[in-house]
Chain A
Amino acid sequence: MFRERFSYDPLVLPFLLGLIFIVTYLALGAIRMIKNLPAEDKIRLGKSFFSKQILLSIREIFNECLLHLRIFKKNPVLGYMHMSIALGWFMMIVLAHVEVKLYAPSRFNLPYYPIFFRYFVRETQETLDGAVFFFLMDFFLLMVLSGVGIAMYKRFNSKATGLRRTTRLKWNDRIALYALWSIFPLRLLAESFTSGISGGSFLTRGFGMVFETFVSNDLHVRPTWWAYSLALGTFFFTLPFSRFMHIPTEMLLILFRNAGIKHRTTGTGIAQTEIYSCSRCGICIDACQMVSAARLENKATVYFIRELREGGRHNAWDMASACLMCRRCVEACPVKIESTLIRSALRQDWKMLRREPLSFLPVNHTGPARVIYFAGCMSHLTPGIEQSMVRIFEKTGTDFTFMDREGGICCGRPMMLAGETRAARELIDRNKKIILHSGADTLVTSCPICYRVFAEEYQLPLKVQHHSQFILQMMEQGKISPEFREGTRVVYHDPCELGRNSGIYEEPRKVIAAMARIEPVAEEREMGLCCGGHVGSISLTHHQRRRIAVQACNILLAPSPDAIVTACPLCKKTLMDATAEVPVVDIAQMVDNPELLRKHPNPVLQ
């Protein structure tokens, strides 16, 4: 039923050399990245191989590297595209190996043999096994081809796949991409030409028969198999220098993450692994408001990461300093590359601020009280919020002290974001002393930027609350019960630092829902918009920030609400400057003075 024709032909060489090259390259690369891990992380990684984490990793590798479930969730068409190519190709390779194992076990040790099996053997599909294999091979080939078809279409018409923008590619990516695209049509051609001799199924046999009607000799069989091998070889040789490095690297990244390895500074293995795991799919381009609103196309994360990978540190710095650190791109990224952490780390490397001793800062103790309130610098710029909070504390009979009433010390987070970790530590230490001295059991802050650093960096032995959480708690205890305003419709703007970056989505919504109807917004919760005011950016101009703010306002105002409610002084201030149509109020102000929700069109826009 099956007869071997040859076991070697020079046409396997491009493939074989490519394979040897890529395997060596990847092995060395993996060793290098693991070597770059700090010692404790190496131990973590080692341990993870012998625990159930490895099973988790295997499952995740299967889900993400083959099925691409996360991309699927973001964008089904893109998801199918990735899945059909990855899974289809993988299955073709597996099937080919099974075939060889079954029918030519003596050749199993020739690495090229399964790939060129159809070229080497003459098989018929008369046997049941044969028919099944032929069918499956054709089925998966068709699957891959459909994915490649979408990929080609997407390249020329990105909107069709639901992406507004697609990544601009450099030549290295293009060569690899075209090589990858050509592998499968060439395989189809090659197999179709040999299908008369070696057999085939619905696809290859069908094509084969069509070809037979106008090409009568088999002179083109060898050239097409050559071309197939060359395409494979080219792909392997260009892979390390192209975005397709993400395929092998993502597996390593999954192993690292599941071992619990965290970011430190650049140059450590995890950051590098993340950089190589970027598939340049470009989903982050659409997520980035610097691109969509401020038209800074080249600042998108995909280009930032490419710049880092290709050694353009200077440009990378430029990109790192512009970013607002809102983390929308991370939320959108199917690989979950923590690009803002990579940026912070880069900022730390640069040390651009002048470092002056902070010893002049006073440590003014307050208290004692049960609750210590820290309004934050941003709230000082929106004193309406502070005033409302003081009234809420008084109304609820809370025993509180106002830590920075007369101006306090910065929480440290802006310094942290700028990469000035040491200066930030100094501020943190000073504030911590005041907080602990007050004897309070709860720290309430009005600013989500401060909230995050209090919660993540201060390691306080007390409860840290954003004021939306505190207000909700007071409502639940019946200490304040604002009235529901029939007919008032508002939208809620999720502050980046409170929502996406601290996971507080529900508390503010519950507070608002007790007072007015909340209209859904096109982009909210995890994909909540950045207002453009974030202290995370070091270099965006005011004009660029404003464009982002205007974009956010336009989306927030789509349901024509009576007011925009938010829970961050900075968001409030930024949005307020960008819209004159409706009032922008903080949740604390709304609870304190519901009249603020009354829509008052600002005459400027009339």
Chain B
Amino acid sequence: MATDGQKKVVVIGGGIAGMEAAAQLARMGYDTTIVEKQARTGGNVANWDHLFPEGRLAGEVVQQLYQKLSPVRIITGSSVKKADMLEGQYILTLADGSVLTTDALVVSTGFRTFDAHRKEEYGYGIYDRVITSADLEGMLNEHQPLFPGRHKGPRRVAFIHCVGSRDEKVGNRYCSKACCAMAVKQASKVKELYPDAEVYCFYMDLRMFDRRYEQMYLDAQAKSGVNFIRGRLSEASEDLQGRLVIKAEDTLMSKPLKMTVDMLVLMVGMEPASGARSVAEMLKIPVGHDGFFNATNELLEANCSGTPGVFLAGTCTGPKTIPETIADARAAATAADAYLRKKS
């Protein structure tokens, strides 16, 4: 593939950001390699079912991105262990000991969902009927029954926003951005599957920032009949029948509230990917208090890490939705291109 004098780029992380950045760089004529630690590319999106806002299938979206990767070398099941700078080039040592040289790097390590065990008061890992939004996506994606072994559907399902986001207590002050819209999408979906069930969303405030999201929300209320309650969950427990009792405060009515539900879905937020810190240390990328990478100028150079030749793409710099991630990945490819041109 590589021709003489062709410049090389390595992309760390083969989620949608890494895939898009790699495709763009390959299109620009660079010898591009993706190093992905999992066995497959696609990142988190590969686990999702229907995507908001229009309900496209996640599998199809990932497939479309994948099709653009034919000129790209993809190394899966591996990661970069060491990076040395030598005469303007990076020498990368991978986990299996093999070595790659490259002229530039795009870091797109993405996010991991918040570990809901840490909010023990919500009972994740303790009560069977408490699941996360990511679990639900997986179940829907794999067409698993949501209530195995039961003839009747659920009587009541509650979705809890901001789990592990906007929560000082777990050390995450930021908003994870995608989960409000995701809750609306998932709540509507559950209502569609179980029309007799009552479905509730407990939110702090609804962040419906995109042009299409507000409509999604209005449809969820008017067409699907999802109920929205402003209030944060304080705790969940199990009653003697094994149903979940949740306690919250309805902050619009200023009343404490207690509700029995058959399933609790926690809208887990985004945290920096596992291993992000060591990547940051290796490549000297500045890291914020929240663990996400910091760009040199978040307004005008949102893809520059400050280390020459190292660029940032996707959710490794903070929560993003898919279109934002894609746009960001392209911007990172452009920034890398500008750098490589100047270098020659």
Q: A interface vs B, CB < 8 Å?
A: 380-384, 386-387, 405-407, 542-543, 546, 573, 576-577, 602-606
Contact = CB atoms under 8 A, between A and B. Distances in A.
Contacts of B115: 602
Contacts of A606: 274-275, 277-278
B275 A573 contact: no
A571 to B, nearest CB: 13
Interface centre among B115, B236, B237 (most CB of A within 10 A): B237
A380 B246 CA distance: 11
B211 interface: no
Contacts of A605: 277
Contacts of A603: 112, 274-275
Q: Is the interface of B mostly helix, strand, loop or mixed?
A: mixed
Contacts of B168: 542-543
12 contacts: A380-B121, A382-B120, A382-B121, A383-B127, A383-B235, A383-B238, A407-B258, A542-B168, A543-B168, A577-B118, A602-B115, A603-B275
A381 B169 CA distance: 12
A366 to B, nearest CB: 13
Nearest to B168: A542
Interface centre among A387, A543, A546, A603 (most CB of B within 10 A): A603
Contacts, number: 54
B171 A577 contact: yes
B62 interface: no
A387 B171 contact: no
**In the complex, which range does the number of interface residues on chain B fall in?**
20 to 34
Contacts of B258: 407
A543 B274 CA distance: 23
B137 to A, nearest CB: 20
A430 B280 CA distance: 55
B277 A383 contact: no
A53 to B, nearest CB: 49
Interface in B258-281: 258, 271-272, 274-275, 277-278
A546 B238 CA distance: 30
Given A381-B235, A603-B112, A576 B274 contact: no
Contact of A546 (B112, B127, B171, B278): B171
B123 interface: yes
Interface in B164-180: 168-171
B121 A381 contact: yes
B118 A383 contact: no
A389 to B, nearest CB: 13
B120 A380 contact: no
A384 B169 contact: no
Contact of B120 (A407, A546, A573, A604): A573
Contacts of B236: 383
A406 B275 CA distance: 41
B274 A383 contact: no
B126 interface: yes
Interface string B232-254: 00011111000001010000000
Contacts of B127: 383
B195 interface: no
B271 to A, nearest CB: 7
B79 to A, nearest CB: 11
B275 A383 contact: no
B118 A576 contact: yes
A542 B289 CA distance: 14
B291 interface: yes
A110 to B, nearest CB: 69
Contact of B123 (A383, A543, A576, A602): A383
Interface string B41-55: 000000000000000
Contacts of B291: 604
